[in-house]
């Protein structure tokens, strides 16, 4: 697959299939993660199931549209620079097929088992697997072939956020119990009657908050991945951000600074590819500064090459920021130069946001029942109460929104599941060890399973 003829029908069909897979994954993500938001309002009888999922879908839609792009490209930057450039489906096709084939299979298997599993975990494991497979294909060492600093940063967020959800929900429940004495908050629903008055609307509000924050964080992940397929299909239009076209070609002083930094510290393990890309960008700047160069215009192939070079340079500068032997002033300079270049390639058209929002919100309205039952009935030893549901969702909303606006991909599933368990522990009702053990096993197994599956699939498709 790495040897498709540029712009051939096979290449375009494969990339269209990849784009469809992205949308299917976002749809599956919606129905897999919906339960996190609607379980509390359904099991406390605050809303009927149909009303709850429609509300959740609408709030997910708004969350995607109002979210940023920091999480989107925190995920994308886990991939090696050479698979981020869009050369006519190579290697975009094997990368996207490996990524979404792996994530979809594991997501559906855990959904069928009724186990709340993280779509974020699936995608991140698959992305790391693709990076490892790419290193094997090009005979690179895994040390240089994978951005381990970025991987570590993302995995730390995934590991710490559920613990914060567990402890935060338990503490919030205890604080709520100490301050609010209304017995309706701490009693399970009776029959089919909803909680009275403000208790009901508190749960509706927390359901809306979790749904909005889920769209805000998880929607960004799909936006970044949709862009990989879009750029592969239409590189001339979307390889570079049309709103930031003035940043290229680089000015000669800026390109010289980048080249000098990368050249000076290349012995610390920076990729030779980044330095070569910086040299090409500098040559373009010098040519553009001449009278003949200023009159020329870059064609589609030049635009594609520029995107590839920008991603190589960004990877080199980012790696330089984390080399301890580099003086602080140079690291700050590298960060400033990287931030100046990022808008050229890290963007999303409005219709990509809308596509992500539609797929996520439609998926939200389907397939939620299996995991809702697990969250509402099987985690705790007793039926979920309004106070427990509100505690888990208020703490979860805060954590997920904070992560969404600081560029950290976190798992809505793990945060809310841990929050429900924390609220049960805070109430002294305990948890059911069997189901919690199954959830923990899926949490532990997801990364190694998806890494191995994606690495193997990418390697086979690349032969």
Angle, CA of 390, 380 and 164, to the nearest 5°? 55
Beta-bridge mates of residue 431: 380
At 64-92, the pLDDT tens digits run 888 777 777 777 777 776 666 644 445 56
For residue 144, name the pLDDT band (cuts at 50, 70, 90).
Answer: low
Is this model's pTM higher than 0.85 or not?
A: no
Average pLDDT over residues 32-49: 74
What is the predicted pLDDT for the residue at 436? Answer: 67
Structure tokens at 165: 């959800």
Report how far residue 81's alpha carbon sits from residue 78's, in angstroms, rounded to the nearest whole number.
9
What is the predicted pLDDT for the residue at 171? Answer: 92
378: pLDDT strictly greater than 60: no
Pure H helices in 44-139: 49-66, 70-76, 81-84, 92-112, 119-137
What is the predicted pLDDT for the residue at 88? Answer: 47
The chain-wide mean pLDDT, for the chain, equals: 77
CB 330 within 8 A of CB 266: no
At 242-288, the pLDDT tens digits run 888 778 888 888 888 888 888 876 655 556 778 888 888 888 877 77
> CA-CA distances (angstroms) from residue 440 to 38, 117, 122, 169, 414?
21, 9, 15, 18, 9
- The angle, 0 to 180 degrees and rounded to 10, between the axes of the packed helices 328-345 and 300-321 is 150
Cis omega (within 30 of 0) on the bond before 91?
A: yes
Report how far residue 51's alpha carbon sits from residue 40's, in angstroms, rounded to the nearest whole number.
13
Structure tokens at 127: 């992305």
For residue 2, name the pLDDT band (cuts at 50, 70, 90).
Answer: very low
What is the predicted pLDDT for the residue at 248? Answer: 80
Q: Of 358, 406, 398, give the one whose Cα is nearest residue 71.
A: 406
Of the ranges 36-50, 148-162, 259-273, 328-342, the best mean pLDDT one: 328-342
Q: Give the position of tokens 């190579």.
A: 90
More confident residue, 91 or 385: 385
At 151-210, the pLDDT tens digits run 777 777 777 888 888 899 899 889 888 888 878 777 776 766 777 777 778 888 888 888
Average pLDDT over residues 302-327: 81
At 291-300, the pLDDT tens digits run 655 445 555 5
Torsions phi, psi for 391 (to 5 deg):
-60, -45
Q: Of 106, 181, 166, 91, give the one whose Cα is nearest residue 136.
A: 91
């Amino acid at each position: 697959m790495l040897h498709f003829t540029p712009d051939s029908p096979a290449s375009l069909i494969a990339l269209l299939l990849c784009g469809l897979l992205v949308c299917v994954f976002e749809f599956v993500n919606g129905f897999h993660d919906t339960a996190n938001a609607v379980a509390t309002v359904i099991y406390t009888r605050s809303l009927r199931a149909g009303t709850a999922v429609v509300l959740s879908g609408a709030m997910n839609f708004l969350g995607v549209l109002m979210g940023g792009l920091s999480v989107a490209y925190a995920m994308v930057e886990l991939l090696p620079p050479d698979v981020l450039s869009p050369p006519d489906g190579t290697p975009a096709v094997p990368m996207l097929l490996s990524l979404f084939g792996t994530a979809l299979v594991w997501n559906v298997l855990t959904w069928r088992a009724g186990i709340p599993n993280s779509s974020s975990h699936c995608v991140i494991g698959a992305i790391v697997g693709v990076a490892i497979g790419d290193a094997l294909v090009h005979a690179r060492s895994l040390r240089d072939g994978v951005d381990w600093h970025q991987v570590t940063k993302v995995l730390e967020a995934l590991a710490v956020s559920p613990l914060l959800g567990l402890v935060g929900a338990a503490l919030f429940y205890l604080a709520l119990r100490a301050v609010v004495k209304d017995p309706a908050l701490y009693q399970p629903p009776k029959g089919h009657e909803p909680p009275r008055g403000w208790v009901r609307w508190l749960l509706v509000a927390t359901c809306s908050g979790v749904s909005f924050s889920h769209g805000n964080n998880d929607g960004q992940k799909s936006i970044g991945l949709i862009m990989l397929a879009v750029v592969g299909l239409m590189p001339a239009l979307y390889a570079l951000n049309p709103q930031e076209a003035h940043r290229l070609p680089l000015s000669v002083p800026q390109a010289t600074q980048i080249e000098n930094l990368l050249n000076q510290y290349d012995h610390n393990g920076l990729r030779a590819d980044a330095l070569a890309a910086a040299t090409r960008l500098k040559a373009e700047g010098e040519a553009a500064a001449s009278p003949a160069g200023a009159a020329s215009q870059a064609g589609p192939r030049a635009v594609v090459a520029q995107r590839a070079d920008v991603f190589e340079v960004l990877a080199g500068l980012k790696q330089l920021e984390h080399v301890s032997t580099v003086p602080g002033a140079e690291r700050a300079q590298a960060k400033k130069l990287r931030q100046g270049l990022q808008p050229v390639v890290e963007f999303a058209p409005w219709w990509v946001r809308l596509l992500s929002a539609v797929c996520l919100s439609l998926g939200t309205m389907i397939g939620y029942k299996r995991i809702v039952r697990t969250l509402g009935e099987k985690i705790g030893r007793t039926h979920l109460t309004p106070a427990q549901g509100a505690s888990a969702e208020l703490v979860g909303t805060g954590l997920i929104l904070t992560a969404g606006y600081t560029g950290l991909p976190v798992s809505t599933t793990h945060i809310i599941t841990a929050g429900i368990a924390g609220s049960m522990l805070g109430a002294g009702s305990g948890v059911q060890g069997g189901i919690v053990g199954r959830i923990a096993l899926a949490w532990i197994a997801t990364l190694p399973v998806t890494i191995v599956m994606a690495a193997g699939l990418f390697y086979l498709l690349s032969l």
